Amino acid sequence: MNTLAFKVSPSSRDLLSLIKPGIVLANLVSVTGGFGLAARGQVVWSLLDATLWGAALILSAGCVFNNLVDRDIDSFMQRTRQRPLAQGRITSPQALTWGTLLLGSGAWVLGCHTNLLTLAVSLTGIFVYVGLYSLYFKRRSWLGVWVGSIAGAIPPLMGYTAVTHHLGPGAWCLFLIFCLWQIPHAHAIALLHLEDYRRAGLHLLPLTHGEKVVRQRMPYYISAFLLASLLPFFYDLTGLSYLLVVLTAGGGWLCFTWKTRHHPHLKSWARGHFLFSILTIMILNFMLVLDPTLLFRGS
């Protein structure tokens, strides 16, 4: 009996893999971007520390719950079939306990050390990501990517509301920017792993409408993101350096999709979009922190 219990006890490595550390770290960059935009150069480091810790725990919980929901389809996909839930190295009750512990810890940190609005925003993100996206839309509709984009726009809002205690124009600018960024980014990932998603029976745009439709729509998605990314400047939340840098980065991405719209190799084209999306959003987050700091310290 003891030997059997030992064998099914989850390893620390498997528990760590459930939280998808790379995704959590990438989202923490966005939390920092939202925090930097709101702080305007007046950073309270203890508040930033608490916000990042709380956000990391909440985001980790979301990833665990997503792994739990996706354990059946993960077994069909080459890149996910080795995940601990798909392989049975971690049981569903163990994953549920782990995710609940992370969620409770994150809620306590945000509720006690930031504010209730930030906690409410983070829990809304969990509901959308796990309840709406993972459990329903991801499996049933190509519109799932739009629902998922709402969850993807929550991290910068957490950083912003931790400072401001309210959802002002800056928060809604961030929400629109990160929602629209998610769409071309997610479609690039879908094209890179198209056969995996087809085996899993997911209803993604390139599978329901065809790859050609994605190619045709990509310039429009990126243009919408680029226009949205200029809003912080027009609301006087950032300065000229933000405008110029973001225009250059987003414009480069848009030029890439236009010049390569007839590229014969789909995966190579999709990989280029994926890399451009990562580079562009990292630059944007960097400028959300740096530009308001310089602008409002100099005023």
The domain limits of the chain are 11-297
Residue 38's SS3 state is helix
One pLDDT digit (tens) per residue for the chain, 299 residues: 344 444 456 788 888 999 999 999 999 999 999 999 999 888 899 999 999 999 999 999 999 999 999 888 878 788 878 888 888 888 999 999 999 999 999 999 999 999 999 999 999 999 999 999 999 998 889 899 999 999 999 999 999 999 999 999 999 999 999 999 999 999 999 999 888 888 888 888 888 888 889 888 999 999 999 999 999 999 999 999 999 999 999 999 999 988 887 777 888 899 999 999 999 999 999 999 988 776 665 55
Please list, in sequence order, all residues whose beta carbon lies within 8 angstroms of the beta carbon of residue 169, skipping any fewer than 6 positions away.
235, 237
- Cα separation, 223 vs 78, whole angstroms: 33
pTM over 0.85: yes
The CATH classification number of 11-297 equals: 1.10.600
Angle, in degrees to the nearest 10, between helices 266-297 and 211-229: 10
Q: What is residue 5's predicted lDDT score, i.e. its pLDDT?
A: 41
Q: What is residue 7's predicted lDDT score, i.e. its pLDDT?
A: 47
The 10s digit of each residue's pLDDT in 86-108 is 888 889 999 999 999 999 999 99
The percent of residues in the chain predicted with pLDDT above 70, rounded, is: 95
Q: What is residue 158's predicted lDDT score, i.e. its pLDDT?
A: 97
- Cα separation, 257 vs 227, whole angstroms: 16
- Cα separation, 254 vs 273, whole angstroms: 10
Query: Tokens at residue 215, please?
Result: 């190619």
Which residue type occupies 75?
S
DSSP 55-110: HHHHHHHHHHHHHHHTHHHHTTSTTTTTSHHHHTSS-HHHHHHHHHHHHHHHHHHH
